[in-house]
Amino acid sequence: MIFSKRKGVSPLIAAVLLIAFTMAIAAILTAWIAGFTQEHKDKSEEFDKKISCAYSNIELDRDYAKWDSTNHIFYGFVSNTGVDAITLTKVESWVDGEKQLPIKLNTSSIALTSVDKNEYLEIYVNVSRAFSNGGTELTKIKFITDCDPVFDSITQPQGGWNTFDWTTSGGTLANDNSQK
């Protein structure tokens, strides 16, 4: 019988190598799984938001929309006819048919942006800045939400806007000082 003079790896070294190899594989799998689950969690949250927005809707009450042409203040009611609360993020206005810079509503100075399900919000919007270039007539106003496809707008009625006196009205005023 012929014996080889080469020796094998000792059992202790083999055990240490096997444990090290197993730990390396576990570390690689842990890093991959963490990245994989975070990516799918982000996609899931985005998908949930899209589903929620698919069932969201706002409506402006056209019968009670009023316009103070002296102080450039629009008054109206915004109702949430969807299934979840929704947040108003900005208001766009058209003066003499031309679109103006939007008024952003998600600032700390304006606390009227959230509309709960089956609720309405009384809103006053000061659009004075839209008239700084010499415009004379508000022709359209559009309320936009945090859900991309959800918005509503009112175009000036053929008979003209309802009017009101700002000094005798109450409510929350959304100033256009937040335009950016």
Structure tokens at 143: 């309320």
pLDDT of residue 179: 39
Positions of the chain with pLDDT under 70: 1-5, 106-113, 165-180
pLDDT of residue 71: 85
Looking at residue 156, the DSSP 8-state letter turns out to be P
Distance, CA of 130 to chain centre: 23
92 vs 130: CA distance, rounded Å: 10
Model pTM?
Answer: 0.66
126 vs 13: CA distance, rounded Å: 79
The model's pLDDT over 117-128, given as tens digits with 9 standing for 90+, comes to 778 888 888 888
List beta partners, residue 126: 73
Structure tokens at 175: 């100033």
Structure tokens at 21: 């190899």
pLDDT of residue 177: 43
pLDDT of residue 172: 47
pLDDT of residue 180: 39
pLDDT of residue 15: 94
